[in-house]
Amino acid sequence: MLRYDEVREEFFSLYVLSLYYNEDYIKQASNFDTPEEFQKLINHILNTKFLFNNEAIQSARTYLKKQFHYKIIDKEKFDCFKGSDRGSWFALMYIYNNRISPETSSSVNIFAQDNIYNPNSTPASFFEFENIDEIKNFSLDEVQAEMQVGISPSNKEKNRDTPEKYSRRFYLTSGADPDNYSPNTTSEQERICTLMRFIDLAPVSLSQKISYFRKLHDKWLEQYNTFLTDYDWLDKKDEKQAIYCWEYLRNKNMIPFYLKPYNTAMRIQMIIACMDSWDTGVEEKYFFIQKMKHAWQQAVSSRKKDKK
């Protein structure tokens, strides 16, 4: 199966042409299996629009290459989510709950299927080139000063009396459409490609994409370092534990409707991703994790007593 990062430039070119000509070329390419098929479709579009005028076609190709260079974040930047299933799952969950707002009216849903190929819903600045000298090679080493990282269990314990506020409503997504960006991926590479495609196709400036990416990156660092070992008790091979915790979260409306795990390990990864992406205070989240852990331990203890 062809990965998005293998045809990233071709896919983005079709996206720009779709916006420009108000045609759904992405849908036409949905079943393509090779880069050559993408290139053939692009050639067909340009030949049709410019009536085989080689000079005009070459100018259009230059324009498309510029758009790709000026509007996408370098692939290497996404490596910060590699090497950790937890990191790539967090990034994937983040896009479903956080949209990239366009530069025009915030009331336009740029992710709606009816609007995504409509030039009227696309800011005019999308087709303009920025001066990217100062922003293209941005650094991810600058961590926000207000981030809460490295909070020790002893400090978390001081707030065990924090009241419960389970307000998460996963069934209302404000970001990526699960139908267009599948959340049920089986590999790290798939999840990163989904993230990459979501950011690539946002009709906003490169600086806005970078701002979104930075916030995602910083949120991930915050979750990872704050809750470094809090999920160690979860066992990816324990099906009973996975199902118990899944039902525990689902009963509190903390499992989004679009998550459908294929196996036990994937279910545990999704459970952790749901907790990581829960936008609440450190103390409240820690208290909740401990309560779920205690509930599981009690369930195991009860089963042992029943067997005697």
Whether the pLDDT of residue 135 is over 70: the answer is no
Task: List, in sequence order, the alpha helices (H) in the chain.
Answer: 8-21, 25-28, 35-50, 54-71, 85-97, 153-157, 188-200, 206-226, 239-250, 264-276, 282-307
> What confidence tier does 141 reach under pLDDT thresholds 50, 70, 90?
low
Look up residue 120 and give its two tokens: 């009227």
Q: What is the pLDDT of residues 58-75, one digit of tens each?
A: 999 999 999 899 899 999
> What confidence tier does 147 reach under pLDDT thresholds 50, 70, 90?
very low
Residue pointed to by tokens 């983040």: 94
**pLDDT at residue number 292:** 97
> What confidence tier does 144 reach under pLDDT thresholds 50, 70, 90?
very low
Whether the pLDDT of residue 24 is over 50: the answer is yes
Q: What is the pLDDT of residues 178-207, one digit of tens each?
A: 988 999 998 999 999 999 999 999 988 899
Q: What is the pLDDT of residues 272-301, one digit of tens each?
A: 999 999 989 999 999 999 999 999 999 999
**pLDDT at residue number 203:** 83
Q: Lowest mean pLDDT: which of 111-115, 212-216, 254-258?
A: 111-115
Look up residue 145 and give its two tokens: 């000063």
Whether the pLDDT of residue 161 is over 70: the answer is no
Asked whether the whole model's pTM tops 0.85, one would answer no
> What confidence tier does 164 reach under pLDDT thresholds 50, 70, 90?
very low
> What confidence tier does 170 reach under pLDDT thresholds 50, 70, 90?
very low
| CA 196 centroid distance within chain | 8
Q: Lowest mean pLDDT: which of 17-31, 215-229, 253-267, 294-308?
A: 294-308
Contact 175, 111 (CB under 8 A): yes
| CA 96 centroid distance within chain | 6
Q: Lowest mean pLDDT: which of 22-26, 160-164, 296-300?
A: 160-164
Q: How many CA atoms lie within 13 A of 116 on its CB side?
A: 16
Measure the CA–CA gap between 231 and 289, rounded to whole angstroms.
Answer: 8
SS3 of residue 251 by DSSP: coil
pLDDT over 90 percentage in the chain = 61
Residues 6+ apart with CB under 8 A from 192: 5, 78, 81, 82, 88, 91
Whether the pLDDT of residue 140 is over 70: the answer is no
> What confidence tier does 139 reach under pLDDT thresholds 50, 70, 90?
low
> What confidence tier does 308 reach under pLDDT thresholds 50, 70, 90?
low
Q: Lowest mean pLDDT: which of 79-83, 130-134, 150-154, 296-300?
A: 150-154
Measure the CA–CA gap between 101 and 104, rounded to whole angstroms.
Answer: 8
Q: What single-letter DSSP state applies at residue 162?
A: P
Over residues 145-170, mean pLDDT: 42
**pLDDT at residue number 2:** 87
**pLDDT at residue number 156:** 52
**pLDDT at residue number 137:** 57
**pLDDT at residue number 101:** 75
